[in-house]
Amino acid sequence: MTLQPNALKNLYKILYPKNMSNQLKIITAKRAGFCFGVERAVDMAFITAQNSSNVYTLGPIIHNPQVIDKLRSEGVEPISTIESRDIKVLIIRTHGVPREVLETLSRKKFRVIDATCPFVKKAQQYAKLLNEAGYQVVIVGDEEHPEVKGLMSYAGNDVVVINRAKMLPKLKNKVGVVVQTTQPLSLLKEIMLDMLEHIKEIKVFNTICNSTSLRLKETKTMAKAVDMVLVVGGKNSANTTQLATLCTSMSVPTYHIETASEIREEWFSCVRSVGITAGASTPDWIIKEVEERIKARGGRAPNGHPNKGRNKRTRKTLC
């Protein structure tokens, strides 16, 4: 049977009444967006750009393309080598750099600003301490991540990187453990349980950033209460991807987007509530644009305040 145009319109009105979009509830996670370390690094970059020329970052200062573009517009360029003669100021990214790179930079004539996250610095110190105390250092994390590459340089020649349980290589009987700061606590627990069956002496420094744990916990709670989740942040951001993976594992329709322009109308079919969370490197202005995009189609936050109670530490220069 073929429906006539008018019949199709009537059917659409029944399935998607006009007041349906007005009932769409928006819940934005309180800890969505910049963490302390990222905010600190971005602030340092913008302030440096205002007072200096020929400013560069060694690699992207954070994993967010939109922030990198905004910094570039202010004259801060990411580079992959420190040999350029144009460098007057070089900023070290939040993830830190290998020990040998720092040693090389100390011999350069240009100014170096270290924007390494303090929590990453602490993890580096613990890795060095364990190595000097005779422990074989195990790093729980992603071997290809810049933070882990930096940690490895402090951990000695027999360092091992593990990113999943049940995949333990042969280890020594005296092992020290540090963790990539953005890894979930659940992974550390799984790996520790596995290690306890095989290793006699283990010393563990839980170097997971508290912000990471709280963000994951908050996102998990939020995902249980909504019909769909939008995870906002760079596609190259490990902790943002981690949030998307968590929500997907809960069988909640989840979309990882970088900006509001990626939002599609068809995602909202039969959706009455949407949750918004964001990675630690996502600026507040991008989260607000996502909220406004949903509000434009009739979405509302509880009490009409999408940002109520949220962390608002983002620099004005990013808004």
Identical fold between 17-34+211-318 and 119-208: yes
Listed by start position, the domains of the chain span: 17-34+211-318, 36-116, 119-208
Q: What is the pLDDT of residues 268-301, one digit of tens each?
A: 999 999 999 999 999 999 999 999 999 987 666 6
Structurally, what CATH architecture does the domain formed by 36-116 represent?
3-Layer(aba) Sandwich (3.40)
- pTM of structure: 0.83
- Which of 99, 121, 105, 112 lies closest to 37, judged by CA? 121
Q: What is the pLDDT of residues 94-127, one digit of tens each?
A: 999 999 999 999 999 999 999 999 999 999 999 9
- Which of 167, 173, 224 lies closest to 198, judged by CA? 173
The residues with which 25 forms a beta bridge, in sequence order, are: 273, 300
Q: CATH for 119-208, among 3.40.640.10, 3.40.50.300, 3.30.1540.10, 3.40.1010.20?
A: 3.40.1010.20
Q: What is the pLDDT of residues 129-178, one digit of tens each?
A: 999 999 999 999 999 999 999 999 999 999 999 998 667 889 999 999 99
Please report which residue ranges of 133-283 form alpha helices under DSSP H: 146-152, 185-196, 210-223, 238-249
Question: Which residues are part of the catalytic machinery?
Answer: 147
Largest Cα span, the chain: 80
Q: CATH for 17-34+211-318, among 3.40.1010.20, 2.60.120.560, 3.30.70.1900, 3.90.120.10?
A: 3.40.1010.20
